């Protein structure tokens, strides 16, 4: 038996140190307060400490770290977007992901699988070609492939879809990957905490103090904190936080549901997405199929699962993989997605001095985690938008400079 296991078995306490230490009280003031202890907030805290030497930072999380979108997504990483701005940003994220396990000394089970976006219509094929060309131009590996190529990599797929919208081809993106999503939050949290950042769980922000258009403090259920730099990184709650400083965003919140099946022997190496069938599917390292569909088609600020989702998703899964008819869904859940009109995020400085925003991630917040952390840390540290997030500033909605990314959505939203 490995020695580490024996240590656990014989020790009255945990043999491993906790991932981070949590102070019992908030300090009176911090250089930076980050609202939201998901991957994005923790990554920003980590890079603030590591790259900019700013360690007097509190991350305020109303629940436990990674309890929101970070632990609820389907853990897909890719950079095969439609716009040059999007490809540039997500490519930075993919590159950062590659080294994270080593950097954190924590296995994120990052696994490159190759990502197929299936096209069932001429117009979908045209969009895939367009994406492939933009990707190649930006140095990202993506190519349009035919049915024979898909079948060779995924022999189990029924490309005729039981004669309902046969697959015509696909966008193939070899760097597409999956990773263990909650470990990303732990890695960033531990790394930030080791450098002096405080993480306060079960702490709710109840207000933000603004004087002369500058932030001066954060009110919480555990007391008032003075600070003149606040980063809001809270998927699902952005409108409640921005209201506290008098800002409006065009964000609307929709639930996104997902599920996993019982574990099976490994058979699906690739990640498969079909916008026409409202389906994405991959197989985790534990053998479960991880699957999701489109957003629920109504605004709702709660995470509940529906039978309707499970029925719709199962039907579509069987069109592509009829042999799964006996496979059981094991568990089902939902997360909250902050949707913007152009499907691009809202990042950077705002017109309230010292108030920075990282929001509007829709259905792709997880894959953005490293790049959003790195660029938001730069932005907060220098009070200047990092150049690669400049196109995503909140002011783009007033200036009609949208970054239309809907064509890169995994499923039709
Ligand atoms: O954009 O890869 C994606 C995705 C998968 C599930 C939701 N979004």
Q: What is the pLDDT of residues 90-133, one digit of tens each?
A: 999 999 999 999 999 999 999 999 999 999 999 999 999 999 99
Q: What CATH number did the domain enclosing 220 receive?
A: 3.50.50.60
Per the domain annotation, does 96 fall within a domain? no
User: For the chain, what is the domain count?
Assistant: 2
Residue 252 Cα, ligand 1 centroid: separation in angstroms?
18
Does residue 82 carry a pLDDT above 70? yes
Per the domain annotation, does 403 fall within a domain? yes
As a whole number of angstroms, the distance between CA 98 and CA 101 comes to: 8
Does residue 12 carry a pLDDT above 80? no
- Among 320, 339, 358, which residue terminates a domain? 339
Q: Is 74 in the pocket of ligand 1 (CB under 6 A)?
A: yes
pTM: 0.95
Does residue 411 carry a pLDDT above 90? no
Average pLDDT rounded to a whole number, residues 385-409: 95
CA proximity to 190, closest of 380, 18, 369: 18
Per the domain annotation, does 94 fall within a domain? no
Indicate the top mutation candidate among 69, 72, 73, 76 to test ligand 1's pocket, ranked by most ligand atoms within 8 A of CB: 76
Shortest-distance Cα residue to atom 8 of ligand 1: 363
Q: What CATH number did the domain enclosing 138 receive?
A: 3.30.9.10
- Among 339, 371, 396, which residue terminates a domain? 339
Q: Is 76 in the pocket of ligand 1 (CB under 6 A)?
A: yes
Length reported for the chain: 413
Average pLDDT rounded to a whole number, residues 399-413: 86
Do 212 and 133 fall within a single domain? no
Residue 346 Cα, ligand 1 centroid: separation in angstroms?
18
- Among 284, 304, 339, which residue terminates a domain? 339
Average pLDDT rounded to a whole number, residues 218-230: 98
Q: Is 364 in the pocket of ligand 1 (CB under 6 A)?
A: yes
Per the domain annotation, does 2 fall within a domain? no
Per the domain annotation, does 405 fall within a domain? yes
Task: Return the percentage of the chain with pLDDT > 70, whole number.
Answer: 99
Burial label, 368 (beta-carbon count in 10 A; 0-12, 13-18, 19+): buried
CA proximity to 191, closest of 320, 65, 348: 65
Do 278 and 335 fall within a single domain? yes
Per the domain annotation, does 20 fall within a domain? no
Q: What is the pLDDT of residues 141-178, one digit of tens each?
A: 999 999 999 999 999 999 999 888 999 999 999 999 99
Q: Is 254 in the pocket of ligand 1 (CB under 6 A)?
A: no
Do 374 and 334 fall within a single domain? no
Does residue 1 carry a pLDDT above 70? no
Predicted local confidence at residue 162, as pLDDT: 87
Per the domain annotation, does 50 fall within a domain? yes
Do 323 and 223 fall within a single domain? no
Do 351 and 334 fall within a single domain? no
Say which DSSP state 288 is in. Answer: P
Do 162 and 192 fall within a single domain? no
Do 261 and 244 fall within a single domain? no
> Is pLDDT larger for residue 17 or for residue 183?
183
As a whole number of angstroms, the distance between CA 124 and CA 65 comes to: 38
Predicted local confidence at residue 8, as pLDDT: 74
Residue 412 Cα, ligand 1 centroid: separation in angstroms?
11
Do 300 and 355 fall within a single domain? no
Q: Which atom of ligand 1 is nearest to the CA of 292?
A: 6
Predicted local confidence at residue 413, as pLDDT: 61
Q: Which distant-in-sequence residues (6+ apart) come within 8 Å of 270 by Cβ?
A: 113, 114, 115, 116, 153, 154, 176, 282
The H-or-E segment that residue 358 falls in is strand 355-359
Do 136 and 192 fall within a single domain? no
Do 257 and 333 fall within a single domain? yes
Do 331 and 351 fall within a single domain? no
Do 118 and 167 fall within a single domain? yes
Per the domain annotation, does 389 fall within a domain? yes
- Structural domain of 153: 112-175+252-339
């Amino acid at each position: 038996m490995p020695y580490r296991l024996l240590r656990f078995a014989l020790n009255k306490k945990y043999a491993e140190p906790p991932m981070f230490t949590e102070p019992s009280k908030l300090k009176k003031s911090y250089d930076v307060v980050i609202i939201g202890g998901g991957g994005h907030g923790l990554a920003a805290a980590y890079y603030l400490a590591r790259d900019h030497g700013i360690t007097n930072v509190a991350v305020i999380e109303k629940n436990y770290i990674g309890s929101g979108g970070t632990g609820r997504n389907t853990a897909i990483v890719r950079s095969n977007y439609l716009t040059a701005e999007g490809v540039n940003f997500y490519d930075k994220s993919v590159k950062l992901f590659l080294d994270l396990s080593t950097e954190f000394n924590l296995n994120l089970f990052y696994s490159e699988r190759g990502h197929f976006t299936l096209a069932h219509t001429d117009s979908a094929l045209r969009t895939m070609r367009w994406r492939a060309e933009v990707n190649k131009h930006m140095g990202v590996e993506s190519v349009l492939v035919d049915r024979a190529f898909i079948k060779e990599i995924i022999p189990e797929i029924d490309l005729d879809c039981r004669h309902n919208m046969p697959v015509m081809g696909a966008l193939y993106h070899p760097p597409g990957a999956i990773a263990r999503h909650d470990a990303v939050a732990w890695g960033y949290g531990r790394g930030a905490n080791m450098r002096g950042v405080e993480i306060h769980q079960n702490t709710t922000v109840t207000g933000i103090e603004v004087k002369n258009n500058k932030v001066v403090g954060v009110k919480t259920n555990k007391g008032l904190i003075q600070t003149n730099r606040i980063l809001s990184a809270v998927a699902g709650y952005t409108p409640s936080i921005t209201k506290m400083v008098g800002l409006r965003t065009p964000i609307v919140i929709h639930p996104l549901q997902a599920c996993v099946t019982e574990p099976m022997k490994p058979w699906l190496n690739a990640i498969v997405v079909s916008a026409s069938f409202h389906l994405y599917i991959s197989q985790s390292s534990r053998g479960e199929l991880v699957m999701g569909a489109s957003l629920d088609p109504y605004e709702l600020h709660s995470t509940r699962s529906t039978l309707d989702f499970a029925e719709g998703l199962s039907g579509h899964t069987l069109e592509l993989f009829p042999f799964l008819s006996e496979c059981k869904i094991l568990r089902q859940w939902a997360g909250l997605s902050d949707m913007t009109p152009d499907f691009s995020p809202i990042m950077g400085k705002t017109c309230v001095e010292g108030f920075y925003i990282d929001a509007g991630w829709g259905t792709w917040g997880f894959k953005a985690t490293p790049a959003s952390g790195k660029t938001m840390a730069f932005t907060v540290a220098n009070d200047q938008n990092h150049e690669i997030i400049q196109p995503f500033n909140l002011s783009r909605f007033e200036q009609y400079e949208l970054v239309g990314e809907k064509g890169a959505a995994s499923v039709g939203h």
